[in-house]
Structure 1
Amino acid sequence: MNKSLKSQICIALFLLLFTCSEQGKAQQDPMYTQYMHNPLTVNPAYAGSTDMLSAMFLAREQWVGFEGAPKSRTLTMNVPISRYNIGTGFAFINDELGPVKQNSIFADIAYHLRLSDRGTLSMGIKGGFDMIQIDLMTLDLDQGNDDAFSQNYTKELLINFGVGLYYYTDRFYFGASTPRILRNSYDNDGINITSLGYKERHYFVTTGALFDLNDNIKLKPSILSKIVWNAPLSIDLSANFIFNDMLWLGAGYRIEDSMNFLIHYQLTDQIRVGYAFDLTESELRRYSNGTHEIMVAFDFLFNKKKIMTPRYF
């Protein structure tokens, strides 16, 4: 794949994701194959749903080997404050696509309402900001002196907030959320390019359940739907087999996009690691070596006498 073609595809991807008209808009938020282990990034109501302080780091390299391909780094933390039936959370996301770099910092708070002996409904809100930088001048163009790419673009702070609902038991969960309600504009008088449009609202609906196949094996299917105005509906279907509450082996399918394979292992009572590999169905598979995603999670157990229970949701 020659350098010129790579540059053209990179520019096309950039325009697809950040040029928004009334006729066509694309998904602009990062996607995750291990979404079932990373719910706080899209749903603030998840904050505090576990009974301990939890931290997670996730790195995603999409379309490895393709110049300018998306890269994401995510760090989240959340902790319950049981005395007040609330949970708090924090998320930092670094997302890159070719010349586009976005850093996001958000804080979450959720109130947990016990509906029965088994079920709890959580209502959450998140608030924070995005920082956008587009280095147009770093692109290799076939034709020089193009005024549309003669200067960079910076948007220092795009303040936003989101809301979510999350119902969970020890065997089932359902969540619905929109992590960014405000349609922030990317327009900037200092950039000499056609309107970059808006940050579109993303709506997420997710659900999952846990089934005992026998004393040592469990099955956990899950679904994540992502809805964006005037963009194709995105649906992730996944199923994980859990062996002895230690090893997770699973597979998934993102409709009309990719198939994936997952592995998750409980190293210790407090440390979990995960890996996912995606095989895309599009023509990009000719130019890339798939997508890789690595996750490390840590559960802080301050009370040494407390018995750790397996984390399924």
Structure 2
Amino acid sequence: MKRSIYIIILQFVFSFYCVAQQRPQYTQYVFNNFLLNPAISGIENYADVKIGYRKQWAGIENAPQTSFVTAHWNLGSDYLWKNALSLPDKGDDPMSRNYMQNYTSSPAHHGMGVTAVYDELGPLSRLDANLTYAYHLKLNNTFNLSVGVAAGVSRVALDVNALTFEDQTRIDPSISNGIVSQLKPDLGLGVWLYSGRLFAGASVQQILPQKLSFTGDRNYNTGKDVAHFFVTAGYKLFVDDEISVTPSIMVKQVSPVPASIDVNLKMAIKDRFWIGGSYRKDDSFSALAGINISKLLNLTYAYDFTTSGLNQVSNGSHEIVLGIQLNNVYEVFSTTRMW
């Protein structure tokens, strides 16, 4: 391979964070919106833990891989009864049509959580670790509005050992002056409106403007963090007492690239098994499935069928998430109030 090709690759690496999405892509955010919106902190009556892994564009060497752990819980020692955070009675289905008819919003309360996301893209890696806090306000008998903040650090690193040239005797200055890693402060905000059937939210990540460069060479140090904006909404419909469907939409904006639009649909049976589909404009179709194994464990999986030009070389994307519901004394099987 010609040396000039490596220079082009280097220019892409060093400027990538200036012109493209910097946070990982997710398909199962519909299962864990907390990844994108800190206002969801403490929305459940138990500690909601998620452990996930995503393999983007399988079949392409050095394609993105993402691992994450999230956890959030409501603050306070008292359980909230007959509201968005608890069952009407032990063992009943909290998302059944009968319960929704008598749904009442939760009293005002606080929530907090933690997120840790590790993302790899070729020689680049990124670790985002945040603490989150949310306040849930009771608007009326059926609606809550929560406001949340996420604060933490981001570590972005370049593995210079993964960059090799045909002529190792002539090392490019951008490599010889390379900055191996850098630590930056991180801040995100979000709002979340929810009732028994409806949810809507908006959030922004990477609010703080930060320069991002891996070299002292001025020709390659134009990288910077850019804000990521998310807006989503969905509504739960009942086919009968045991089957429900939930359509939802997500719009994501990362300047200067065009907005990304996802349309999703989930069908659940007794909130024990569910299947779903998703379409991401100009990118992919996705198939999703999940099972609530017990009051402690649930497992979900998604496969993305790539529709962009990458489908010539990619075998699609895989994403799997394990959910753990700690201190779930009321034996809730469904893992999320909304989705």
TM-score by length of 1: 0.89
CA contact (8 A) 2:14 2:223 kept: no
Q: 1:40 aligns with which of 29, 34, 39?
A: 34
CA contact (8 A) 2:287 2:303 kept: yes
Q: Distance in 2 between matches of 1:227 and 1:218?
A: 30
Query: Secondary structure at the residue paired with 2:311?
Result: helix
Residue-pair matches, total: 305
Taking the TM superposition and a 5 Å limit, the aligned residue runs for 1:275-286 are 275-286=301-312
Q: Distance in 1 between matches of 2:301 and 2:12?
A: 26
Q: 1:9 to 1:195 in 2, by over 3 A?
A: closer
Provide the residue aligned with 1:131 in structure 2: 155
RMSD of aligned residue pairs (Cα, Å): 2.5
Q: Distance in 1 between matches of 2:166 and 2:133?
A: 49
CA displacement, residues 270-294 of structure 1 (integer Å, 9 cap, x when unaligned):
2110000011112222222110000
TM-score by length of 2: 0.83
Q: 1:9 to 1:47 in 2, by over 3 A?
A: farther
Q: Distance in 2 between matches of 1:71 and 1:153?
A: 22
Q: 2:113 aligns with which of 89, 105, 112?
A: 89
How far did residue 10 of structure 1 move? Answer: 6.7
Q: Distance in 1 between matches of 2:328 and 2:298?
A: 17
Whose relative contact order is higher, 1 or 2, with alpha carbons under 8 Å and at least 6 apart? 2
- Equivalent position amino acid for 1:92 in 2: A
How far did residue 114 of structure 1 move? Answer: 0.6
Provide the residue aligned with 2:49 in structure 1: 55
Provide the residue aligned with 1:113 in structure 2: 137
Q: 1:57 to 1:9 in 2, by over 3 A?
A: farther
Provide the residue aligned with 2:280 in structure 1: 254
CA contact (8 A) 2:178 2:215 kept: no
Q: Distance in 1 between matches of 2:56 and 2:8?
A: 15
CA contact (8 A) 1:155 1:186 kept: no
How far did residue 311 of structure 1 move? Answer: 3.3
Query: Secondary structure at the residue paired with 2:180?
Result: strand
- Equivalent position amino acid for 1:102 in 2: R
- Structure 1: which 4+ aligned runs deviate by more than 6 Å? 6-10
Q: 1:274 to 1:138 in 2, by over 3 A?
A: same
Gaps of 5+ in 1: none
Provide the residue aligned with 1:194 in structure 2: 220
Q: 1:9 to 1:300 in 2, by over 3 A?
A: farther
Query: Secondary structure at the residue paired with 2:220?
Result: coil
Q: 1:11 to 1:66 in 2, by over 3 A?
A: farther
Taking the TM superposition and a 5 Å limit, the aligned residue runs for 1:1-313 are 14=13, 17-18=16-17, 20=18, 25-82=19-76, 85-141=109-165, 144=168, 145=170, 146-150=172-176, 152-187=178-213, 190=216, 194-301=220-327, 303=329, 306-308=330-332, 310-312=334-336, 313=338
Q: Distance in 2 between matches of 1:29 and 1:293?
A: 16
Identity %: 30
Q: Distance in 1 between matches of 2:10 and 2:272?
A: 44
